[in-house]
Every structure is written in C-alpha cells, then in structure tokens.
Amino acid sequence: MKRFVGIDLGTSSVKVVVTDECGHVERMATRSYNISEPVPQWREIDPMIWWKATAEASREILEGYPASEIAGVGVTGQMHTLVCLDERDVPVCPAIMWNDLRSAELVSDARTALADAGESYLARIISTGSPALSLAWIKANRPDVFSRIRTIVIAPDWIVKCLSGAIGTDWCEASTSSLFDLEKGIWSTTACKSLGVPLHILPEIQSADSIVGGVTKMAGEASGIPAGTPVIRGTGDNPASAIPTGCFGERVPVISLGTSGVLMYSLPGSIRAKWGKSVLFSESSGSLSTLIQLTIQTCGNAVDWLTREMLRCPDYDLEDARANDILYDTDRLIFYPFLNGDKTLYGDSSIRGAFVGISLETSRSDLQRAVMEGISMGFRQLLEHVDESGSWGEIRVVGGGAHSDLWMQILSSVLSKQIVRLTGVKGAAQGAAMIAASAVRGIDLVTILQELGKQEEAFEPNQQAVSMYERKYGAFLELHDAVGTLGAREFNR
C-alpha cells in the first residue's frame, strides 16, 4: 500500500503524519520550537528553525517504512506568516508571524489607502500580521532589507521550497495576503501600488494539488523522505483542516475549537464575504471554492490561560462534579471571550474580555464552565451574522476543545443545534496528506473522503438548557458596550 506524508507547520510546533492512501492516520510526530520576541509585540522566527524541526519529525515518523511505499508529501501550515527571500532564495530577515503586532500603527493608513483606491474588501480585512502590512512595515522601517527582497512566500511554502526547491504559493495564501483581487483571481496591482509593494516579488499561484517537483537529494538526507518523492503545493491550515470534515465536499459548516475558535463554511466559486474572511481553495486547476472563516481569537488559549495560569489547576477536569451537569446554573456569571481583541465582527484589536457577575460563591469550576459558555455564545453571535435564515441544522466540531463532552453539550444548547463531533479527524496535517494522495492517485478529494469514512458522535440541545442560555445570551450581547471597549480607554496614572 502507498503511504503519504502530511506536514503541518504550526505556530509553536510542526506536526508530521503518515496516512494510508485513504487518509487514515497511521503515525504522528511533533517537534516544538520557540518564537522570538526581540521587542514587545514583535513575533518572529528564523525559517531554518522550522525546516530543522520538520526534518527531525519526518525522520522519526518514517523509520521502518520502505522507501517504495512513500508516494507523496503534502504541506500545510500557519497562514499569513511572511518569509522574504533574496535572489538566492535565502531569507533576508526572520519570518514575521501571523500574530505579530509591530505594524499596528500602520493599519489605519493602510485601510484608508486601500479604500481610497477602491479596494473596500481588502481595506476591511487588512490587519496586523497580514503579509501586505508586514511588507509595508519592512519598507518603512528596514529599507535596506526591503531592497534585498526578490520574492516572498508564506510559511508552508517555505517548507515546500526546502523539500523541492520550488517557489510559489496557493490560492489560500494569496487570497488572505490583502494583496489579491478576488474578482479577477490575480494579484491586485491596485493594492500593491497603494501599499508600495512591488508586484514582481509576489510568487506564482498554483492549485493545492500541483505537483511542484520531487524531494531533492539534500532534503531527502535531512528528512528521511525518499529523494524524488512528489511534493505537492498544499494549502493553508484552515482549508487543510476543513478537508477531512466534509466542509468542502458536503458543504457542512464546521467549528474548530483550537487555540483560536473558527466557524467555517464553504461556497462554490470566489465569494467576497460580508462577515469574516474569504479564503480561496483551489483543489485542482479550474476548481475554486471559498472557505469563509469567522474567528474568536481566544478559545483554547483562554481555557489554558484560566486553568493553568490563573487557577493553577493540574488538569482540565472540573473540581465540582455538579458543574458537569448541562443544567448546572452558574447564575449571572458570564465570560466575555475577547481577551486579545476581535478581527471579525468589530475589527478592533483593543477590545478586551471580562468575567461579569462574579460573587463570593463563585468557584473555580464556575469560572471554567463560564469560559466554555462564553466562547459558545461568541460562536452564536458569529452564527447569527451568517446564517440569518437558521437553515444550518447540523454543525460539525473538531479541535482540542471537542474532546470535552460538557463543552459539546453546552455548545449544542447555546446554538440550539445538533453538534456532531468528528472523532476520526486528525487536523490539518491529515488534510495535507489527503491532498497529496488526491494528486498522486489522480482522484478528487470527495472520493478520498468517502474512502476515509466517518467517525462521529452527535449531541442534541437540552431544551431546559436552551432556555437558560437564551436569558444569558441577551446579557452577553450587551457586554461589548459595557466592558469590551475598556481596553481602548486612556486611564490616568
């Protein structure tokens, strides 16, 4: 049987999987790395650290597999993170991460410039950490570095380059760069001119299933992936994560309870979303879908922050067993989840979160449960902006938070919808391997998804809990004006 390697270059670690030709994950390995913060709010990393970690994880996972069985390698990873290359395809500076905030002071002027040039959609989505704004920052603050840039790629594209030597990007990374014309399907000359970005440094755009070359001898020796193995272009981590869920093939909405919380759904063709960000995904040449993603920036990281940092709990289990009952009432306690701003509904990085309704009787379990409830209500707010007719009867859920039965029950009751937990989905690396299998085998992803099969578990809303959360949700919606904007105010020292 043929095997496929999937590489997911994450923010703090790389995950590498081996799957069979139907997408079932057989092995998994990870390697962690640290992001540098040389100046407060800067987040960057030497791209070679990524390659070293990827090669180590690949060598570990492929041990024992005959070289003849490894049929292809697909790559995915963090979107937006910018890698600038010189004329020898060597990085000219550290990669600027998607969560870097150094360009915050440029956002307003960039939005104005794009809006004045007629790029209203790009004016709405451009934000700190986007490739366009990171390039604008380099030009304004490091002109010596900017002058050496001959091309740019996004983080997973860099791993493709390390494996095969090929330079390029896919439709996902292009469409989320704030430099792309969604209607024409090409790089936007207007956006580039408005932001001072030379059009010639932008890479070729390819479909996700493009076989860009083979693993080089040097890369093979470093990674253990046999030299000559086909390397597939791949895509960003959000489309890759959506592939095993059926979000594209079956057009079912999906919630990912990861470090951030993401609500995503797909539509055929190229769509400018009114709410959220449009991420284009081209499975193959001539095929185009739009993955629309709406984000709550604090999700799993809020759970970690409360449990580990604030409460110093040894694990995520609730101390009070009663709090695991779906009808347990935390009274007026509400968690407002925007701990580090919002990019989707308010477009305001200064919004802050809060616990409201704390009393002397509030327990650690109450706080932990309130976080799950508050994030769930944040998803309901997103849902009401994009599913105005209420036609979505089922929502599939993946990510680390999906392991909690309680959270699934809460989410189902807050949304008043059936929640389907997908237990067979292993994330973006699995999606990248499935793209590789599709390219090498010459079949579409829908067929591979059918071969993969489904492992799922359904949660139905509890009607008493629905009524309880209906009352709380009304108060939740008022919190933006009451406490959410406190972070934007100036306080006398």
| pLDDT of 61 above 90 | yes
For the stretch 372-400, pLDDT in tens is 999 999 999 999 999 877 788 889 998 88
- pLDDT tens, position by position, 304-326: 999 989 999 888 889 888 999 99
pLDDT at 453: 83
Mean of all residue pLDDT scores within the chain: 93
Task: Report pLDDT for 274.
Answer: 86
CA dihedral defined by 20, 21, 25, 28, rounded to 10 degrees? 70
Higher pLDDT, 42 or 343: 42
Q: In order of start, what are the domains of the chain with their CATH numbers?
A: 3-235 (3.30.420.40), 243-493 (3.30.420.40)
pTM of the entire structure? Answer: 0.87
- Is the pLDDT confidence value at 480 over 80? yes
CA torsion sign for 281, 282, 283, 287 is positive
Over residues 133-145, the pLDDT tens digits come to 999 999 999 999 9
The confidence band for 20, taking pLDDT boundaries of 50, 70 and 90, is very high
pLDDT of residue 492: 44
- Please say whether the dihedral angle defined by the alpha carbons of residues 316, 320, 325 and 328, taken in this order, is positive or negative: negative
Q: List, for residues 408-447, the tens digit of each pLDDT value.
A: 999 999 999 999 998 878 889 999 999 999 999 999 999 9
CA distance 331 to 460: 23
How many H helices and E strands in the chain?
A: 16, 23
Question: Tell me, what's the pLDDT at 78?
Answer: 94
Is it the case that residue 341 has pLDDT exceeding 90? no
pLDDT at 487: 57
Q: What does the CA dihedral 205, 206, 207, 208 come to, rounded to 10 degrees?
A: -100
Please name every residue paired with 19 in a beta bridge, in sequence order, or none if there are none: 4, 25
Q: Which of the two residues, 234 and 425, has the higher pLDDT score?
A: 234
Tell me which residue has tokens 């081209």: 282
Q: Is the pLDDT of residue 208 over 90?
A: yes
pLDDT on residue 39? 95
pLDDT tens across 451-474, in order? 988 778 999 999 999 999 999 999
What's the CA gap between 459 and 419, in Å, rounded? 5
Q: Which amino acid is at 421?
A: R
Alpha carbons 434 and 430: distance in angstroms, whole number: 6
With bands split at pLDDT 50, 70 and 90, how would you rate the model's confidence at 362? very high
Cβ-Cβ contacts under 8 Å for 257 (sequence gap 6 or more): 299, 300, 375, 397, 398, 399, 400, 401, 402, 407
> What pLDDT does residue 493 have?
44
Compare 344 and 158 and report the one with higher pLDDT. 158
Which DSSP category does 324 fall into?
A: G
What gap in Å lies between CA 86 and CA 378, rounded to an integer?
43
Q: Given this model, what pLDDT does residue 220 score? A: 98
Provide the pairing of β-strand 418-422 with 394-398: parallel
